[in-house]
Structure 1
């Protein structure tokens, strides 16, 4: 008999243990149709009360940093770092459409991270290609000058002999 009051007490509090404390939903008197736009945003599964909102906010810092690097010369940019940003942006953009809850805000920031990283990678690769082309031009010009010097040397020897 002594177990019945304890089980009644446990049953009274049982609904509280179904969800973690911070994830409990508060019952409101307003119907979902009557909720304002801000209330819908505030209580959304990807709203400001969740990490699904704040993670993209912080990730915009990476995008803005990449955009600010557009003013830097390409020789000061890191190819591996920008490849990592491009890969991260591409992979997470795809995953944002698979994971639940769908988070378009996170998908947008990852897409822009991919675009910024791709632009920087293209700048770096074009710069490296221009260095290769310049090196080949310098070698070709050096060979021409070497030929001109040998011809001048032969003319000088002929002048000295005569």
Structure 2
């Protein structure tokens, strides 16, 4: 186990990892996580506050950016995970809105 820990520590100190932390491939998705986190927090709120137009727009937005995250080189799996989570949250919100109306 200590071998894996030392390899992990070595990887964290590598030049490639430091470059990744300073890139838009890291900070873009990190900044973008606010959208799915807000959607997940809203799941327990009253469905009367859900906007159908905004939910639809965010579903389309996340679908497009999931595809982008897989097509850009190198693949941006952090961005993909962010938009996958947002897509799931928005679909949940959309279903709640349909059930409410």
TM-score, length-scaled by structure 2:
0.83
Residue 11 (structure 2) aligns with = 37
CA-to-partner distance for each residue in 1:105-156, whole Å, 9 max, x for gaps? Answer: 111001111111111011101111xxxxxxxxxxxxxxxxxxxxxxxxxxxx
Runs (4+) of structure 1 moved beyond 4 Å? none
What is the correspondence of 1:12-23 to structure 2 with a 5 Å cutoff?
none
Of 47, 65, 71, 1:74 maps to 47
How far did 1:67 drift?
A: 0.8
Task: Pick from 24, 42, 54 the counterpart of residue 51 of structure 1.
Answer: 24
C-alpha distance after superposition, 1:45-72 (max 9, x if no partner): xx11111111101111111100111121
Q: Is contact 1:59–1:109 with CA below 8 Å preserved after alignment?
A: yes
Gaps of 5+ in 2: 1-9
5+ unaligned residues in a row in structure 1: which ranges? 1-35, 129-162
Aligned residue for 1:88?
61
Aligned residue in 2 for 1:99: 72
Count of aligned pairs = 90
